[in-house]
Amino acid sequence: MERGETAVRAEIALRVNGEERRVVADTRTSLLDLLRERLGLTGSKKGCDHGQCGACTVLVDGRRVNACLALAVAHQGADVVTVEGLADGDEPHPLQRAFVENDAFQCGYCTPGQLCSAVGVLAEAARGWPSHVTADLAADGVELDEAEIRERMSGNICRCGAYPGIVAAIREAAGGGTAR
């Protein structure tokens, strides 16, 4: 047997949807697999496992990231919000409501990632971050028009092609609600 075939384990403590979680896990475990296989939070999806589809998108310390490319061991103490944590008790997040009402999904597999990504997009826009399609990079604010939403949501692939509904849902939520 080659040296170093035995899994290296580490204790990982993080906060998931407001709850402190402590797990002993293989250093190789991604944040996504930790959520899905260890914590039973299967809302975050595995569409590619390489950061190429966005189905695994979660919020880490308020930022949207691909949980499949995040090693759990490197996220000690992180504050993680998944799709299961978006609602406020029984009250759905405005984006969740808008996704249902605008039929912003079909099979639903990319949806949790789309939702977490959209929450991130609203926060990024609120901070005035520009995107690839922002005409005036130096401007302070950014209006989330359709082109901006499309570009910013392009890290989330939807093979069912529900993009028009996704854009409509985010526009609606951006206009009415506030980013959490």
Partner 1 sequence: MELGAPLDRVEGWDKVAGRARYSGEQRVAGVCHAVAVQAEIAHGEVLAVDATAARAVPGVIDVLAYGDAPALADTSDFELAVLQSPRVAYRGQIVAAVVAETLEIARHAQRLVRVTYDELGHDVELTPDHPGLYRPEKISPDDPPDTGEGEETPAEVSVDVTYETPAFHNNPMEPHATLAVWEGDHLTLYDSTQGAAAQRDALAALLGMPAERVRVVAHHVGGGFGSKGVPPRPNSVLAALCARRVGRPVKLAVTRQQMFSITGYRTPTFQRMRIGASKDGRIADIEHHVIEQTSTAREFAEQSGVVTRMMYAARARRTTHRLARLDVPVNSWMRAPGECPGMYALESAMDELAEACGIDPVELRIRNEPERDPDSGNPFSSRRLVECLRLGAERFGWSSRPEPGTRREGRHLVGMGVAAATYPAAARPAQALARVADDGSFTVSIAAADIGTGARTALTQIAADALGVPVARVRVEIGDSALPYGPLAGGSMGNASWGWAVLRACEGLRDGIARYGGAEPGLECRADTSGEIKNQEAYARHSFGAQFAEVRVDVDSGEIRVPRMLGVFAAGRVMNARLARSQFVGGMVMGLGMALTEESRMDREFGDYLNHDLAQYHVPVNADVLGIDAIWLDDPDPHANPLGGKGIGEIGIVGAAAAIGNAVHNATGHRFRRLPISPPSVIPHLP
Partner 2 sequence: MRPFAYRRPADARAAVEAALDAPRAMYLGGGTNLVDLMRLGVAEPDLLVDVAGLPYDTIRETGDGGLEIGGAVRNSDLAAHPAVRRDRPMLAQALLSAASGQIRNAATVAGNLLQRTRCAYFQDVSKPCNKRIPGSGCPAIEGDHYNLAILGHSAHCVATHPSDMAVALTAFGAAVHVEGPGGRREIGMPGLHRLPGDRPEVDTVLDPGDLITGLTVRPLPFAARSRYRKVRERASFAFALVSVAAALDVEDGTVRDCRVALGGVAHAPWRAERLEEALRGRPATEGSYAEAADAELDLAEPLRDNAYKIPLARKVIVRTLAELGG
Which residues here bind partner 1, judged by CB under 8 A?
1-2, 5-7, 26, 28-29, 33, 36-37, 40-50, 52-53, 55, 82-84, 87, 92, 96, 99-101, 103, 105-112, 115, 133, 149-151, 153-167
Report the nearest approach of partner 1 to the CB of residue 108 (Å).
Answer: 3
Q: Which two tokens stand for residue 121?
A: 């997009």
Q: Which two tokens stand for residue 145?
A: 């028009």
Report the nearest approach of partner 1 to the CB of residue 44 (Å).
Answer: 7
Residue 80 in 3-state DSSP? strand
Paired with 80 in beta bridges are: 16, 60
Report the nearest approach of partner 2 to the CB of residue 17 (Å).
Answer: 19
Binds partner 2 (CB under 8 A): choice among 24, 91, 132, 161: 132
Cβ proximity to partner 1: between 5 and 136 the closer is 5
Residue listed under structure tokens 């939403």: 149
Q: Which two tokens stand for residue 119?
A: 């929450």
Amino acid at 143: E
